[in-house]
Amino acid sequence: MTAGATRTSIPAVVLGATGYVGGEFLRLLALHPVFELRAAVSDSQAGRSIGNWFPHLACAYAEHNFVAHEDWLDAVNEGEDLALFSAAPHGASAGIIKAAIDAAASKNINIHVVDASADFRYGAEADFAAVYGIAHGAPELLPVFSSGLPEHVSGTPTPHVGHPGCFATAVLLAAVPLLKAKLVDSELFVTGITGSTGSGRVPQAGTHHPERQSNLYAYKALQHRHAPEIVALANAASGTQATLNFVPHSGPFARGIYVTLQCRASAGSTIADLHEAFAAAYDDAAFIELVEGTPRLKNVVASNRCQIGVALEQNAIVVTSAIDNLVKGAAGGAVQWMNRLWNLPETDGLSAPAPGWT
């Protein structure tokens, strides 16, 4: 079956399925009208029930067990379509995806991949190595991957996608419309506060509850590894040469990212110009909402939505954006991309509102 044909089901496989992002992929797939989970892949939990590992998903996957990497291909038939999601770690995902694509080819499986790691966010092998300090795991695949937000990229330029990171998603949604409309100076100052799930499922000092609860602190000020990614994607999407001063913070909550972007308005820019730029950029974007005043995390957490607020005083601009780091910033954005790759409505499986009182 080829992309664009009417379909009732497309097999889906999740690599690295036991982490927080992997769990969100499983949750979203349980609600999706077309993608059907065939295999949740994890060597460490192979044979164990998904519901035992993720009790909140037991009602959706009562009969599903995790499978080892060597076994997932058995769940997909010769010649079938396949939506492959990777939540494998940075640096490891590329090699795992390369093996998966090769395995799919051996059974004539028509495959699209969306990777939630950083491995395919850079178009050049050297750029990835400069940021992460390791060689790329599958540089031969770089030409068939592209990276960017669905709201900023037209069509499907490549058969596979490397989804931008969670901080990058929140910053890019706030910055790109203004840069593209040339309403601001190119130097951006950003503060971003992230929830503890952004550090992954393995406990660390920064996610340990006694340290994080009722606390707020900056880390890696002006040195965060997502900064070069944000700049590269912002420049590609806006056609400008922006610079970024980025200070991330650890927040005392589990989910969500709240970003405050400050910059200088170009001469003559008005608040109406700013609103018009965001409207032009996101009028057809189902998940982006420009709000009066400022966003609230509780309005977006556990959803694929982003709220954006904008303020202007003299020539000072402040843009605030709020997303869920695990959904819009990872699994939800990846599902949005996969919907497009299979010519499905981008809202499929993603239209549930935020619960509000998380």
Residues near 27 by beta carbon (within 8 Å), at least 6 away in sequence: 56, 57, 60, 331
CA 286/CA 282 separation, integer angstroms: 8
CB 14 within 8 A of CB 40: yes
Q: What torsion do the CA atoms of 130, 134, 139, 143 make, to the nearest 10 degrees? A: -40
Partners of 190 in the beta sheet?
246, 261
Residue 37: count of CB within 10 angstroms of its CB: 22
Q: Nearest-CA neighbor of 299 among 282, 287, 284?
A: 287
Per-residue b or e along 132-170, where b marks 16 or more CB atoms closer than 10 Å to that residue's CB: eeeebbbeebbeebbbbbbbbbeebebebbbbbbbbbbb
CB 334 within 8 A of CB 116: yes
What element of type H or E holds 234? helix 226-238
What element of type H or E holds 197? none
3-state SS class at 338:
helix
Task: Point out the residues that are catalytic.
Answer: 166
